[in-house]
Chain A
């Protein structure tokens, strides 16, 4: 069975600090997709990034960057110069193929609560 582990339950930083959220996954599929979502207090899950198992190129988008390492089954997410508005719960997720052969289901980690204070 597929599994996503986010070992960090809660992280507190002061504004402008850099913070890295860890994600480790397990899957037997050779083709899979990894996602990061952000859940602010309003409750809606906001999509941040998607990566497929063939694309290990790391990416930087503004203050966000992602580090995908297939060799260690990790997909970490870094926020540079954090801001109070970054406070939210961040979820790492893995797509899973159902019995129909299509990727129907997202398996989520337990989430990391990020608190950014002034």
Chain B
């Protein structure tokens, strides 16, 4: 069974630009969550989508947004990039959206903002 796929794996952007990251879940998984990992703040929850609806959102500015498609694939977008947005962005998917449903992570997209 294929794992979680994230594209692209690496990105270099400049301040002020915008970026879109993609996540394809494990087959049968309907929930997709996004996390940001930085050396200073650690792993922080961005948002979760389930059945194309945002179910929960972390404490990030409105520049961070996402969406989920009918095939459960998800994208997240960051507009007006800042240097502090440089991070590893991890996508996690699971079958449902209950606590017992384990989240499985993709390899991440490493974003560098210059």
Contacts and interface: CB of A to CB of B under 8 A. Distances in A.
Contacts of A95: 99
B42 A98 contact: no
A52 interface: yes
Given A44-B108, A108-B42, A33 B56 contact: no
Interface string A63-103: 00000000000000000000000000001000101111011
B64 interface: no
Contacts of B45: 104-107
Q: Is the interface of A mostly helix, strand, loop or mixed?
A: strand
A91 B37 CA distance: 12
A106 B88 CA distance: 16
Interface residues of B, number: 26
Nearest to B45: A105
Contacts of B110: 43
A102 B42 contact: no
A61 interface: no
14 contacts: A35-B103, A44-B105, A47-B105, A52-B100, A91-B43, A98-B48, A99-B56, A103-B100, A105-B33, A105-B48, A106-B33, A106-B35, A106-B103, A110-B42
Interface of A: 31-33, 35, 37, 42-47, 50, 52, 91, 95, 97-100, 102-111
